[in-house]
A and B are shown apart, each in its own frame.
Chain A
Amino acid sequence: MKSIELIFISILVILIIGCNSNKHLGSSPKYNFYTAEVNFIAKESEGTITVNSIGYGKNKKSAIINAKQNCFSILLFKGIPGSEINIPLVDNEYKSKTANSNFYNSFFNGTAYETFIMRITESSYQKNKRVIKTGLELQININSLRKYLEQNNIIRKLGY
């Protein structure tokens, strides 16, 4: 009888741990997962860059949000070859995300990143069985974005 109780309790513990770990994964911000499908198009004026960003989603709205988040993730953490931001704005993605999780949560999950988008044009649209793939041409106010990151102590100002 005791062994049955023990088995029952251990199953319960495993289930609880399992549920918690799933919850943890589920609660991870979406911006942690991004693709490198962001390409430099042009520098139309001083302090701006225009890029093409691809996003995926179950519907068009989520695909558009994903494309925008993708664009900012690449700008911040990877840099875009061929553009003046070919070095990422943030020096160390892991350290920065760990130290400033609140900032990144509000930046990506809120609407803060939207304030740096000067123009949006849909460049492509594909609908598969389950996933919608959309391409956006985005003009980003880089100077303003850099200043915003500096003011929030995410990146350092030029100098020591």
Chain B
Amino acid sequence: MRKMFFIGLLLSTSICSKAQNAATNSGGQVQTVQPKIMVIPYTKKDEDIRTILEKDVNKRIAITKIKEAFDSRGFTTVDFVSKLKAALDNNVFHSDNQTDIKSQIVQMSGADIFVQAEVIFKQSTSGNSVDIILTGNEASTGNSLANKYGLSGLFYTDDIGKLASKAVENIATDFLNVLQTKFTDIVNNGKSVIIDIRFAQGSKYNMSSDKVGTSGLPLSDQIEEWMGKNAFKNNYHIQGTTDLNMIFDDVKIPLRDQSTGTNYNPNKFALELFKFFRSLNLEVKKDIKGNTIYFTIK
């Protein structure tokens, strides 16, 4: 009787440990993880991104109008101003280089896509106008997603904010529509990740090593073979292979696990590649930064 009780207790605890937390159980519903989008201002070489938004109200208006367009389509963007403030409060910036600061903010925010807005004010005797350039890029790969150039038209006014707002209004919907077609393409054909495979200093292996695994093929070819089988729809691109380095600058992974229907991410793909290296008896270290996966073979 006591034995039965213990077996029952063991069974029930094992079932409970595998079950989903009751507080978070969604009954099997899966919501696709949405991309994080951040709208940032364009900065020239000599402009300080830290003060540009504080001083230039027109750039703030343009950015707010773009965010408004995203909101009207039910999409929440990452707020650049609050990220910037948080970054300043936490003293994350260690460099005076503007480009570095911009990429640091993009990296820190975890944004997948950043939309850059350039506001150009033009004055003439026949009226004033504002031109706006919107560019949307994938943060990790730099792939261009949408680009639009908008004009406010000529008006006899000094209200640059109003002109900027008008210029954005003219192109925002169109910009989002183009962005949406790219999203549809990502849903159908997978999203891009970068995979960088290197060797640790003093490693006895290189990409030409053919004593790895049992196939007798050079390591680089074995990796490519694996990539061909595992990249979504066999879609991958090799930037280059040397003896010490192999870079896949565009590997497509699905948004959802094709067998379970749950969300799929670069971390899960990296784990599969990690298992592959383990199967070859290679000791590797993996690092993941956004959509970039780094492997170091020891």
Contact = CB atoms under 8 A, between A and B. Distances in A.
Co-assembled chains A and B: yes
B104 to A, nearest CB: 25
Contact of B72 (A84, A87, A143): A143
**Interchain residue pairs A-B with the least CB separation, the first 6:** A84-B173, A158-B73, A159-B34, A158-B75, A84-B174, A160-B32
Contacts of A142: 173
A158 B187 contact: no
B173 A159 contact: no
B73 A87 contact: no
B180 A160 contact: no
Interface in A145-160: 146, 150, 156-160
A58 to B, nearest CB: 37
Contacts of A160: 32-35, 183, 186-187, 255
A85 interface: yes
Interface of B: 32-35, 70, 72-75, 169, 173-174, 176-181, 183-184, 186-187, 255
A109 interface: no
Interface of A: 46-47, 84-87, 91, 142-143, 146, 150, 156-160
A18 B94 CA distance: 79
A158 B178 contact: no
A43 to B, nearest CB: 8
Contact of B180 (A84, A86, A143, A158): A158
B72 A91 contact: no
Given A143-B72, A157-B74, A87 B179 contact: no
B54 to A, nearest CB: 29
B7 to A, nearest CB: 46
Contacts of B177: 84-87
Contacts of B72: 47, 143
Contact of B181 (A85, A87, A150): A87
> Which of A91, A150, A157, A159 has its CB near the most chain B CB atoms (within 10 A)?
A159
Contacts of B186: 160
A157 B73 contact: yes
28 contacts: A47-B72, A84-B177, A85-B173, A85-B177, A86-B174, A87-B177, A87-B181, A91-B181, A91-B184, A146-B73, A156-B183, A156-B184, A157-B73, A157-B74, A157-B75, A158-B70, A158-B74, A158-B75, A158-B176, A158-B179, A158-B180, A159-B34, A159-B35, A160-B33, A160-B34, A160-B186, A160-B187, A160-B255
A143 B73 CA distance: 9
A86 B35 CA distance: 24
A85 B183 CA distance: 17
Among B35, B73, B178, residue most surrounded by chain A Cβ atoms (within 10 Å) = B73
B180 A46 contact: no
Contacts of A143: 72
Contacts of B180: 156, 158
Contact of A156 (B33, B176, B187): B187
B33 to A, nearest CB: 7
B252 to A, nearest CB: 14
Contacts of B32: 159-160
A86 B70 CA distance: 18
A160 B187 CA distance: 6
Most buried by A among B34, B35, B173, B178: B173
Nearest to A91: B184
Contacts of B176: 158
Contacts of A150: 74
A46 B169 contact: yes
A156 B35 CA distance: 14
Nearest to B75: A158
Nearest to B34: A159
A158 B174 contact: no
Nearest to B72: A143
Contacts of A46: 169
Q: Which of A84, A86, A87, A91 has the most CB of B within 10 A?
A: A84
A143 B184 CA distance: 19
A158 B32 CA distance: 12
A156 B174 CA distance: 16
Nearest to A79: B177
